[in-house]
């Protein structure tokens, strides 16, 4: 489930049960923070949290503070600053050296936050959204829809791929080994692990010429080369999209370890990353798809 869908489902459940809560949105950050602008969480009147705007420390502090905010039902902006060397903030030791501006929106059944009222997905296109407060634009963001993975294979080795991808919040459609996808363009990635040469060949002939940006093939490199040699001209023309052997070089041996390397490679490719150690990265760790307007 997409993070936004999980947050909105929590808001609806809280109000359906006659309870109240707060919707928290990160508006801006500076320095090192666990989450970036656009991350959201919900905390109910009993201090139960869904979603994350930090590694958990900020949520715990907010849970102690929500009662008066819920009582007055007034939106507000608050700040957390962990840039001091002592790293003590409201009695918490925060691990990140950065600042966060948070937009707090208390709600009940009669006072829902705008996100819970008017947010709608736009198919597979990102949703442009602007958050305002007291006539000011706080945040402009492009909310990308849930990643969509087509998984071809019914073997036990495909099970952990499905499980890890779903835990990452992706939508996974698992096709029987011999079934061709009716609409491959509907997916962000496709993983082929049928263990059948002719079935794999038929799938590559459909998947590679499609708009799906990532096609991964299980098996040794020589087998992948043999498949490409027999594939259609249209498929060979898109061979740059084929990842064979599939996965990052993580030293995986078990089905679960191999599945981890597969999902990690898809994540890296879709974000145009190389998948190397973060300590060797010179640029910023996080992509910036939101614009804070404080």
Domains annotated for the chain, with CATH where assigned, are 3-143 (no CATH), 148-270 (3.40.50.720)
Residue 37's contacts (CB-CB under 8 Å, 6 or more residues apart) are 26, 27, 28, 29, 139, 141, 290, 291, 292
pLDDT in tens, 236-250: 999 999 999 999 999
Q: Is 271 left (phi over 0), alpha (psi -120 to 50) or beta?
A: alpha
Strand 21-31, strand 148-152: pairing: unpaired
Tell me which of 214 and 54 has the higher pLDDT: 214
Is residue 88 predicted with pLDDT exceeding 80?
no
Sheet holding 49-51, edge to edge: 49-51, 40-44, 21-31, 98-107, 76-81
Provide the H-helix boundaries in the chain: 3-16, 57-63, 66-72, 114-118, 159-167, 197-207, 221-230, 233-236, 255-270
* Integer Cα distance of 155 and 150 in angstroms: 15
Residue listed under structure tokens 């999902």: 263
Backbone angles phi, psi at 90, to 5 degrees: 50, 35
- pLDDT, residue 90, reads 43
> How many residues does this entry show for the chain?
294
Please count the other Cβ atoms lying within 10 Å of the Cβ belonging to residue 22: 28
Instruction: With both helix axes pointing from N to C terminus, report the angle between 255-270 and 159-167 in degrees, rounded to the nearest 10.
Output: 50
* Integer Cα distance of 29 and 98 in angstroms: 7
Confidence band for 26, pLDDT divided at 50, 70 and 90: very high
Is residue 91 predicted with pLDDT exceeding 50?
no
pLDDT over 90 for what percent of the chain?
70
pLDDT in tens, 262-287: 999 999 999 998 888 877 777 766 66
pLDDT in tens, 148-203: 999 999 889 999 999 999 999 999 999 987 788 889 999 999 999 999 999 999 99
pLDDT in tens, 194-239: 999 999 999 999 999 999 999 999 999 999 999 999 999 999 999 9
- pLDDT, residue 167, reads 93
What is the three-class DSSP state of 190?
strand
3-state secondary structure string, 48-106?
CEEECCCCCHHHHHHHCCHHHHHHHCCCEEEEEECCCCCCEECCEECCCCEEEEEEEEE
Which of 27, 20, 76 is closest to 43 using CA atoms? 20
Helix and strand element counts for the chain (H, E): 9, 15
pTM: 0.80
Distance of CA 239 to the CA centre of its chain: 27
Long-range contacts (CB closer than 8 Å, 24 or more residues apart) made by 177-185: 177/152, 177/153, 179/152, 180/206, 181/150, 181/152, 181/206, 181/207, 184/150, 184/210, 184/211, 184/212, 185/210, 185/211, 185/212
Supply 48's token pair.
């139960």
């Amino acid at each position: 489930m997409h993070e936004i869908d999980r947050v909105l489902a929590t808001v609806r459940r809280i109000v359906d049960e006659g309870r109240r809560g707060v919707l928290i949105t990160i508006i801006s950050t500076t320095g090192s923070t666990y989450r970036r602008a656009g991350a959201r969480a919900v905390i109910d009147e009993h201090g139960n949290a869904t979603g994350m705007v930090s590694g958990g420390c900020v949520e715990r502090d907010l849970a102690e503070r929500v009662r008066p905010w819920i009582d007055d039902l007034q939106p507000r902006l608050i700040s957390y600053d962990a840039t001091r060397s002592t790293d003590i903030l409201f009695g918490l030791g925060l691990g990140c050296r950065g600042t966060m501006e948070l937009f707090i929106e208390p709600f009940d059944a009669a006072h829902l936050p705008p996100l819970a009222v008017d947010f709608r997905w736009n198919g597979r296109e990102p949703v442009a959204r602007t958050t305002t407060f007291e006539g000011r634009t706080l945040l402009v963001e492009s909310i990308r829809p849930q990643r969509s993975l087509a998984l071809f294979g019914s073997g036990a080795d495909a099970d952990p791929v499905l499980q890890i991808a779903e835990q990452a919040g992706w939508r996974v459609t698992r096709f029987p080994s011999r079934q061709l996808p009716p609409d491959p363009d509907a997916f962000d990635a496709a993983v082929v692990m049928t263990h059948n040469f002719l079935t794999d060949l038929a799938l590559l002939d459909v998947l590679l010429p499609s708009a799906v940006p990532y096609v991964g093939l299980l098996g040794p490199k020589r087998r992948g080369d043999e498949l490409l040699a027999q594939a259609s001209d249209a498929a060979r023309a898109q061979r740059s999209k084929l990842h064979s052997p599939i996965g990052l070089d993580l030293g995986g041996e078990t089905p679960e370890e191999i599945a981890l390397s597969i999902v990690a490679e898809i994540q890296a490719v879709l974000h145009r990353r190389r998948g190397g150690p973060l300590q060797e990265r010179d640029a910023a760790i996080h992509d910036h798809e939101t614009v804070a307007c404080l």
